[in-house]
Amino acid sequence: MWLPPQTATQVLQACLLYCRPTPPSREHTSAESMARTNNVTELILTGLFQDPDVQRVCFLLFLPVYLATVVGNGLIVVLVSVSKSLRSPMYFFLGFLSLVEISYSSTTVPKFLIDLLAKIKTVSLQGCLAQIFFFHFFGVAEILLLVVMAYDRYVAICKPLRYMNIMSRQLCHVLVAGSWLGGFIHSIIQILITIQLPFCGPNVIDHYFCDLQPLFKLACADTFVEGVIVLANSGLIALCSFLILLSSYAVILFNLRKHSAEGRRKALSTCASHITVVVLFFGPAIFLYMRPSSSFTEDKLVAVFYTVITPMLNPIIYTLRNAEVKIAVRRLCGKTEHAGME
């Protein structure tokens, strides 16, 4: 049927108007975006080794190590709390360091031990973020406590006559609280960076616990800027603190020249324990955080060293090289045996 040109034009416009696809609403688009970015709710950990037999051997090896960590550091906490001979600021800080060691190790090791016996190692995304938070919280708190302990040794050796006035009980509490606060601020920054990233798959973390760099590899976005911030926030804290510690002990060793032979021996014995702990903690941490991340098995083994082994070594180092701690241990054991006989 023939239509006038004007009428045909009107029909074509009406057809285009009603046949045009309706754009999705803003709410619908937002819902689809949320579904796309939040569809990862569970993560799978590859673990340390893939062979089940090797994993069972690791379980038998690492379980006693973790128990020794808890018992050894717990013993130091108890000794510092009950022993009258361990009332100096140095032992006050040592007690809190042992408490941090227990918490730091417990953040990763129990889950790691359970996963060694599991076929599929899973963790929720929220649980992964919680592990990252507490791992970095206690890790940085330990770093700052080690710096505080170095300052305590500096005052004790370089300014012995003013030691008790400078290292007052109030200042000791402030320094410990500052260490915990520093760890909290550091971890909050890390988590605020991480929770803004979209995770839409895959969901396999190439590690035996949750950490920032392995998790960043799963993000559905470019994480270069986040990686730089994490490097500055984690690696530089460790590196700068390590340099501060080295500088402080260089000053201490320089000032020891003025002391007697017996004074030098006693001071070096105390400082040697602290320096050993510092090297054992900072060495692996700087190795992992001050270089590009990788998925090598060697990196995981280094992480095992500072998450599992080092926390167990600290109470051994301080106990074997400190006469006062050994005396306090004997007294505590003597009281325990006497109470048991009664």
Render pLDDT for 131-148 as a digit per residue (tens, 0 to 9): 999 999 999 999 999 999
What span, in angstroms and rounded, lies between the C-alpha atoms of 193 and 179?
22
The domain locations on the chain are: 40-334
Model confidence at 39, in pLDDT bands (50, 70, 90)?
A: confident
Q: What pLDDT is stored for residue 236 in this prediction?
A: 78
Q: Is 139 exposed, middle or buried (0-12, 13-18, 19+ CB in 10 A)?
A: buried
**303-341 per-position pLDDT tens digit:** 898 899 999 988 888 776 677 777 877 787 776 555 555
43 bridge partner residues:
123
H/E run at residue 205: strand 204-205
The three-point CA angle 245-86-140 to 5° equals 35
Q: What pLDDT is stored for residue 27 in this prediction?
A: 42
Segment among 24-28, 69-73, 124-128 with least mean pLDDT: 24-28
Model confidence at 293, in pLDDT bands (50, 70, 90)?
A: low
Q: What pLDDT is stored for residue 34 in this prediction?
A: 42
Q: Where are the beta strands (DSSP E) in 40-154?
A: 42-45, 121-124
At a CB cut-off of 8 Å and minimum separation 6, what does 42 contact?
122, 123, 124, 125, 203
Query: For the chain, what percent of residues have pLDDT higher than 70?
Result: 82
Q: What pLDDT is stored for residue 5 in this prediction?
A: 47
Superfamily, domain 40-334: Rhodopsin 7-helix transmembrane proteins (1.20.1070.10)
Asked if residue 29 has pLDDT above 80, the reply is no
Residue with tokens 């990788």: 294
Q: What pLDDT is stored for residue 24 in this prediction?
A: 47
44 backbone dihedrals φ, ψ, rounded to 5°: -115, 130
- Averaged pLDDT, 51-76: 94
Model confidence at 269, in pLDDT bands (50, 70, 90)?
A: confident
Provide the whole-model pTM: 0.83
- Averaged pLDDT, 202-209: 91
Asked if residue 249 has pLDDT above 70, the reply is yes
Q: What pLDDT is stored for residue 339 in this prediction?
A: 52
- Averaged pLDDT, 105-120: 95
Which amino acid type is present at position 167?
A: M
